[in-house]
A and B are shown apart, each in its own frame.
Chain A
Amino acid sequence: MERIADFFRWLNDAHGVNLSIFYDAFDRSRFLEGLWTTVELSTICTALSLAIGVLGAWLQGARFGLVRQLVQAYIQFFRNTPPLVQLFFFYFAIGNELPHVLDEHGMLVPPISNVGWAILSLSLFAGAFNVEIFRAGIEAVPRAMVEAAESLGYSRLGIYWHVLLPLAFRISLPALNNNLVNLVKTTTLAYAIAVPELLYAAAQIWSEVLNVREMMNVLLVTYVALIAVLVAIMARWERALRIPGYDP
């Protein structure tokens, strides 16, 4: 460990390539915390946005027109506004207006923290796309499948859960893949409301240590690696879900 630190110290002194995250404990811990926050944020938002997608796609087929319209309004709102604007809107416009609560120090604070808003806002953003992705999958399932299930006496929910969704999910996976990759990259926007994720940590480091070029490279490499892991997981999942012989 000390060897590695010495090497990067030498790299800075001799060649001016300042990778402080490898020799400065303070910078390293900030960077690793940032990395962890990004992983956490991505995982939670992925899970929530998938849940929103499944629920939304089901409600899109609801019998009540009002419910369908509400889902449509939600999709339009989140799909047609920039995610950064949504984050600002939630954190600064809504967050500051909500009734404040007392914290452990007896101060009045907003009920939802910046991390909370980031999770909420990013999940809703990615969720809106997921609803449409699942809808496309559902519409690609042959009508005869639903009719067959109906004649077997399945309920509406039963058809959705046991017949439509499993088939639609497989069809949706490539598009879903894209959207989740996008979601992981969109977590960098949380930087704007001071969520200490990877970009935030890197920006703190480069504005103090003044190694912008080095940190930009570190950032790109880290994101390439993070997304590679996600894509690998999704590819495995896609293979595991494959039904031999079924090709809609």
Chain B
Amino acid sequence: MLGMFTRAALACVLLAGSLAAPARAEDTLDKIKQRGTIVVGVKNDYRPWGFVDPAGKIVGMEIDLAQDVATRLGVKLELIPVTGANRMEFLNQGRIDLILATMGDTPERRKVVGMIEPNYYAGATNVLAPKSAQLKQWTDLKGRKVCAVQGAYYNRRVTQLYGPELVVFPAVPEAVSALQGGNCVGFLFDDTLIVSTLSAGDPKWRDYEMPLVSEDPQAWAMGVKLDDLQAPFGMFLKKLSIDWHKAGTLVELEKKWGIKPSPFLQEMHDKYKGG
């Protein structure tokens, strides 16, 4: 018996070696240009930001933005689908150069990835629920099963404030399926996405609503490696983001993809247009 525990302990020591942080260097912008391709991590289950169209291609507002980044750099665009749980790991491992995947800009995340300012979008939290659930306020969620998606920044806050029993799935389709199967009283999500889901006119959402007052507005940001934030790559993206706001690109894209006009984007557009 002792032998087994000794061996287990040895395995742990070996594992501890993998805790050491990996070394990194070199400029990402140069690397992208040399390679001729920029690899962007995007969502493929998040209509209308990044989703798969009937032809099997990933399209959406964030894909348009990623394409613009590639075009301006004069390189080809390669998309890699990511989830809320793996995108930052993919970035720091070097599998992707840039995160453009509905990523909320939070102080904790800023310790791990470089957030490009100004932010390109801002959403807030709400729930998608069947009308029969008769939810009136956030406190109604207490002790009820609420579906959610792993890695969303609002999961923790809502759990701590209102005490629902979160049922968290790896991706959106599973969570939606669980909601429609009656496994949860609601689906905790971005309010803009709920609005665009409900307004798309799909009959399967006829008996659903967004019953609560949106909370906790959160800006979204493109993410780069921390080292790149002050490097040429980060500076390029920062300038690009200002351009998008100034030229009204984001407001137009929002309209193109049928997203409810966000006051944040209009505000930013007016601010940079003037300046």
Contact B181 A207 (CB under 8 A): no
Residue of B nearest to A192 (CB): B170
Q: How far is the CB of A27 from chain B (nearest CB, A)?
A: 9
Q: Does B177 contact A (CB under 8 A)?
A: yes
Partner of B8, one of A204, A206, A228: A228
Q: Which residue in A193, A204, A212, A228 is a CB contact (below 8 Å) of B155?
A: A204
Q: Do B85 and A206 have beta carbons less than 8 Å apart? A: yes
B185 near A16 (CB under 8 angstroms)? no
Within the complex, the shortest CB–CB distance from A192 to chain B, in Å, comes to 7
CA distance A105 to B21 in the complex (A): 49
Chain B CB within 10 Å, residue with most, of A114, A207, A214, A232: A207
Q: Which residues of A contact B8 (CB under 8 A)?
A: 224-225, 228
Which listed segment binds A: B47-55, B108-116, B209-217? B108-116
Evaluate contact between B19 and A17: CB separation under 8 angstroms: yes
Report the bound CA distance from A105 to B155 in whole Å.
23
Q: Are A221 and B15 in contact (CB under 8 A)?
A: yes
**Contact string against A for B residues 147-182, beta-carbon threshold 8 Å, 1 for contact and 0 otherwise:** 100110101100010000001111000100110111
Partner of A221, one of B12, B109, B180, B183: B12
Asked if A148 lies at the interface with its beta carbon under 8 angstroms from chain B, I say no
Contact flag A105-B108 (CB < 8 Å), given A92-B177, A220-B15: no
Question: Is B167 in contact with A194, judged by CB distance below 8 angstroms?
Answer: yes
A17-37 contact mask (Cβ, 8 Å, vs B): 1 or 0: 100000000100000000000
| B144 nearest CB across to chain A (Å) | 7
Cβ of B132 within 8 Å of any chain A Cβ, yes or no, is yes
Known: A17-B19, A109-B183, A200-B168. A210 touches B88 (CB 8 A): yes
Residues of the A chain whose Cβ atoms lie less than 8 Å from the Cβ of B130: 107
Question: In the complex, what distance in Å separates the CA atom of A210 from the CA atom of B150?
Answer: 12
Contact B18 A210 (CB under 8 A): no
A100 and B182 within 8 A (CB)? yes
Nearest CB to that of A98 among chain B residues? B181
The count of residues in chain A whose C-beta lies closer than 8 Å to any C-beta of chain B is 38
Known: A107-B132, A194-B169, A228-B5. A213 touches B18 (CB 8 A): yes
The docked-state distance in angstroms from the alpha carbon of A220 to that of B16 is 11
Known A204-B155, A208-B151; contact A92-B15, beta-carbon cutoff 8 A:
no
Q: Is B25 an interface residue (CB 8 A)?
A: no
Compute how far the CA of A57 lies from the CA of B112 in the bound complex, rounded to whole angstroms.
54
Asked if A224 and B108 make an inter-chain contact with CB atoms under 8 angstroms apart, the answer reads: no
Q: Min CB distance, B177 to chain A, in Å?
A: 6
Known: A204-B155, A224-B8, A225-B8. A209 touches B108 (CB 8 A): yes
Given contacts A207-B84, A208-B156, A231-B4, contact A224 B11 (CB under 8 A): yes
A contact set with B: CB distance below 8 Å? 16-17, 26, 92, 95-96, 100, 105, 107-110, 113-114, 191-194, 200, 203-204, 206-210, 212-214, 217, 220-221, 224-225, 228, 231-232, 235
Pairs A–B under 8 Å by Cβ, sample size 28: A26-B156, A92-B177, A92-B178, A95-B181, A105-B133, A107-B130, A107-B132, A108-B132, A110-B182, A110-B183, A113-B183, A114-B167, A192-B170, A192-B174, A194-B167, A194-B169, A204-B150, A207-B85, A208-B108, A208-B153, A208-B156, A210-B88, A210-B108, A212-B89, A217-B19, A221-B15, A224-B11, A224-B12
